[in-house]
Structure formats: C-alpha cells, structure tokens
C-alpha cells in the first residue's frame, strides 16, 4: 500500500488509470447477473527466479507449492474458509480464475514456466528486478502472462506488486525468495 499510495500522490496518469479501472470493475460487478455464468479463465504464469546465491535459486517444489496456494486462494479451496466472518460468508465464493505454468514463451518456444537467471545484484528494492539495466530480468508481455519474480528483496520486504493502471514496465508480482512455498514445501520466512 505504501508503494501504491506514493504512486497515487506522485503520478496523475497512474491515479487516472487506477480510477478508470476501478469504475470498470464496479460496472462489471453491477451488471453481473450470475456468478455461475462466468467463463473459466486460465492465466499462464512465468516465475522469474533472479538469484545471487545458490540459496536464492529455490527448488521447483517450492514454486509449484506457491502456484498451488495461488490457485487454492482464488478458488476458495483453503481449509480456513470456515473462519470467514458471517457478514462475508454469504457473498464469498471461489473465482473462475486458474493459474498454470506457461507452456510457451513469448517467442512461441516451449518453456517450463520457470526461468532461473543469475545476477550480480545482492538485493532488489520494490520492482527494480523488472529492469535488466538494474540487474533484473526482462518481463514477459503482461497481456499474455502473469510475471512473478522471485528474488532477494531488500529492507525486510516480503512481496510487492502494483495495482492495475500502473507503469506497464513494472506490471509484475515480486516475492522474497524465502517467502515462496506452500504447506507441503514451505519457504523459510
């Protein structure tokens, strides 16, 4: 939220884009007649592991566990859904959104959806990892992929992303490598 609020206060174009998107979402919700009529959406994900030490180059098992957590969260399949406050229980449901590892890269070549790249940068601040000139890795086109960067984030930051409507060059999710994982293959933080 700190990053988002700074953008709202410092970038009039971002503020305008964000407000337009919020209005579009409100219209979609208002005009939605039945949640059951939603068409399932599958979003290809590329995990960009940008590492400086071997410990930062996390195993595939933790990445797959994180993908499972993401899908369970969006589909409301977690065991803790029984703890949903009653005021929200009547309107809560799983989405028709599913995430999968990308099977083709942006050039049409086969991929596992996990790309590990060494860097000389010891830690990144916020969305710096999205820029090759700052030691990061090229982002795949966000209109076709969800880019999730895994790296050593500085200053105790566990994860960061921007709200919709922000700078296209930083349209990504960035996670601290120690936070990635799930119940069967947890991170270390």
Mean predicted confidence (pLDDT) in 75-93:
84
* Residues above pLDDT 90, as percent of the chain: 54
> Reduced to 3 DSSP states, what percent helix, strand and coil does the chain have, rounded to the nearest 5?
40, 20, 40
Cα 90 to Cα 75, 84, 86, 186, distances in angstroms: 16, 10, 7, 32
More confident residue, 121 or 1: 121
- The pLDDT value recorded for residue 19 is 87
- The pLDDT value recorded for residue 159 is 94
Check whether 147 has a pLDDT greater than 90: yes
CA 36 to chain CA centroid, nearest Å: 25
Name the nearest CA neighbour of 4 among 168, 174, 176, 163.
163
> How deeply is 42 buried, as exposed, middle or buried, from its count of CB atoms within 10 A (0-12, 13-18, 19+)?
exposed
For 156-187, write each residue's pLDDT tens digit: 999 998 877 777 888 899 999 999 999 888 88
- The pLDDT value recorded for residue 17 is 85
- Give the dihedral sign, CA 121/126/132/136: positive
């Amino acid at each position: 939220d700190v990053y988002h609020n700074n953008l709202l206060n410092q970038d009039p174009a971002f503020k305008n884009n964000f407000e337009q998107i919020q209005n579009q979402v409100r219209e979609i919700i208002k005009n939605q007649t039945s949640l059951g009529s939603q068409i399932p959406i599958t979003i290809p994900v590329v995990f960009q592991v940008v590492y400086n030490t071997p410990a930062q180059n996390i195993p595939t098992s933790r990445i797959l566990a994180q993908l499972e957590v993401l899908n369970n969260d969006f589909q409301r399949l977690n065991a803790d859904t029984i703890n949903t406050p009653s005021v929200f229980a009547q309107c809560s449901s799983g989405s028709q959104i599913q995430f999968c590892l990308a099977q083709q890269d942006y050039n049409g070549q086969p991929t596992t959806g996990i790309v590990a790249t060494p860097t000389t940068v010891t830690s990144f601040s916020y969305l710096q990892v999205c820029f090759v000139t700052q030691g990061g890795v090229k982002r795949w086109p966000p209109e076709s992929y969800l880019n999730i960067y895994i790296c050593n984030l500085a200053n105790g930051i566990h994860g960061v992303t921007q709200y919709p409507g922000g700078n296209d060059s930083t349209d990504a999710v960035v996670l601290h490598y120690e936070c990635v994982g799930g119940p069967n293959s947890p991170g270390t933080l």
